[in-house]
Amino acid sequence: MGSRPLAPRPGPPGPPPPARAPGPLGPRAAPPQAAVAPAASRPRRSRVSPPMKLDVAVVSHGTDAFLLNLLESVREHVPADALGEVHVLDNASPDRSLDVLARFSREAPWLAVHASPVNLHHGPALDVLLRRHARADHVLLLDADAEVTGDFLPRLLPLLSSRPAFVGQEHPEPDGFYLYLCHLLVDRRAYLSLPPFARHGAPGLALFAEVARRRLPVSRFRWVDHVRHHGQAALRALRARGESGNELFAFASRQPEASPRRLALEARLAERRDAFLRGEPLPPRPRPEKDPWPLPDARSRPRPRRSPLGPLGPLAALLPWLVARAARRLVSPHAEDELARLHARLRRQRPGRVLLVGPGRGGSLLLLSRAARPDARLACAGLPPWEVDDPAEEVASARLESLALRGQTLRLLRADALDPATAAAAREALGGGADLLILDGAPAAAPSEEDVDSLLTIYLPHLSPGGTLVLSGIRPGHPAAASFRTLSARGTGVALLSSRDPGSPGLGLSIAPA
């Protein structure tokens, strides 16, 4: 998806993709037996002993120069003993992508080429690769205009011991949970149990909604430290070719003009593609730029957003179930009945100074702002589930700030919640101790019991006498369970546990001594 706005819906999903028909290369361009890559161009071996091989899946459409650059970067940086096969599905490219793949496959026995005579579109094509062609347990999805910049295995392998369904980076812009598809490691068996990637500008909407609903394990990983996504290459090529009949042409035409730096990169990559296809020595491959993030375009600026509560506006604050439902849409991990009971209790208290640790995507903040006084002061402390250097963080922060009601003030503190200085800054923003302190154990934060104990040590001194503490994750096996048992033993704990969803982490309330 990159870091720009989502493409508009192209209409209802079409029929299932047709069975793959052999294109000009057939089902796979097999290299001749005698073709062996020069020693200097063979993938190097890993410095670690990988417990698995991973496949790579790439969907290509009209980005031949970027595609060559990607394949060279995979060969350079992905160790040979960790690389299974690189599956490239060419989506009826109108350029020389198939020529690039045919020639590259002569020196890369790991390259498997799949040619579609029609454009299946990005989501369905990814689904074809994951269901029909990839065989490794783990598959790395890369956009054709991406580029591997370094060996990611030493940092990636420790994350796989917890058997996550996905390893990736969260996208800040969508309202719901969504991972970047331009660089994403997929557990193929987990994927096959989920809704498929769809024909849509955001192919994973239904899939990631189901991941959130089922609470599947997801590991956070900074792919941008190892993969450079140049972004929008297919849209720019589509516009340059004048494909007015393409359903995405209007969207592509609205994108801003490329910067001189981007134009220079495209020219160098095109020069290398031409030399490669002529069989000539290649000019040096452009080194990745220092900034690993594509710059946000004019559409990625903070903008007013429609209230998640819909047309009822402030009146909906009186209806706990509507508030709970809206909070669920903003990826709260809790069941609606838990959230509704919490909102009803807090609404009776009407806190004036609210401190939330772990704001996530805004579900808890929405609920707290509707329960607090109309002139309440709110502070949110902690790092978001996405990267704070993501260009879309500005948009995400603006969305969170819009959740405060008119008359309320909100301060976002994007800092380590376990740093006492963050707690002190939150107290200063509130103008004193908090009437309500909530430690929100969102799944993306993955706090441990030790983290919860540390947070209580740091933040309880900033809770006013008689104030309310709310803990998230109090069911057995969740990180706040032990702390809540301690509070309950003192006779100050009230558990809010869903009777409908036993998988919900549960909420616990405790009143500080007056």
DSSP of 12-53, one letter per residue? S--SPPPPPPPBTTBS--PPPTT----GGGSPPPPSS--SS-
Residue bearing tokens 């036993």: 502
* Other Cβ atoms within 10 Å of 448 Cβ, number: 10
Closest CA to 110 of 30, 51, 21, 20: 30
Closest CA to 90 of 63, 55, 110, 66: 63
In this prediction, residue 17 carries a pLDDT of 40
Please give, one letter per residue, the 3-state secondary structure of 92-104: CCCCCHHHHHHHH
The dihedrals phi and psi of 457, each to the nearest 5 degrees, come to -60, -40
In this prediction, residue 163 carries a pLDDT of 93
Query: Domains of the chain, with CATH numbers?
Result: 54-241 (3.90.550.10), 317-512 (3.40.50.150)
In this prediction, residue 262 carries a pLDDT of 76
- pLDDT per residue, tens digit, the chain (514 aa), is 333 233 333 333 444 443 333 333 333 333 333 333 343 444 555 555 555 789 999 999 989 999 999 999 999 999 999 999 999 999 999 999 999 999 999 999 999 999 999 999 999 999 999 999 999 999 999 999 999 999 999 999 999 988 999 999 988 877 778 999 999 999 999 999 999 999 887 899 999 989 988 889 999 999 989 999 887 656 566 556 666 666 555 555 556 566 677 788 888 999 999 999 999 999 888 876 655 454 444 333 334 344 444 444 454 444 555 655 555 555 567 778 888 888 888 888 899 999 999 867 778 888 888 889 999 999 999 888 887 777 778 877 888 888 888 899 999 998 888 899 999 999 999 999 999 998 885 433 456 788 888 888 999 999 999 899 988 888 888 788 888 888 777 767 788 888 888 878 888 888 876 6
d(CA 454, CA 89): 49
d(CA 508, CA 39): 61
In this prediction, residue 326 carries a pLDDT of 58
The model carries a pTM of 0.68
In this prediction, residue 502 carries a pLDDT of 81
In this prediction, residue 475 carries a pLDDT of 83
**215 contact partners, CB below 8 Å, separation of at least 6:** 333, 443, 503
In this prediction, residue 437 carries a pLDDT of 93
Closest CA to 366 of 417, 416, 313, 413: 313
CB 24 within 8 A of CB 101: no
CB 175 within 8 A of CB 208: no
Give the tokens for residue 143. 């956009």
d(CA 508, CA 42): 57
Q: Could you tell me the end-to-end alpha-carbon distance of the chain, in angstroms, rounded to an integer?
A: 51
How much helix, strand and coil, in percent to the nearest 5, is found in the chain?
Answer: 35, 15, 45
In this prediction, residue 322 carries a pLDDT of 60
In this prediction, residue 354 carries a pLDDT of 94
CA dihedral 321, 327, 329, 335 (to 10 degrees): -70
In this prediction, residue 31 carries a pLDDT of 33
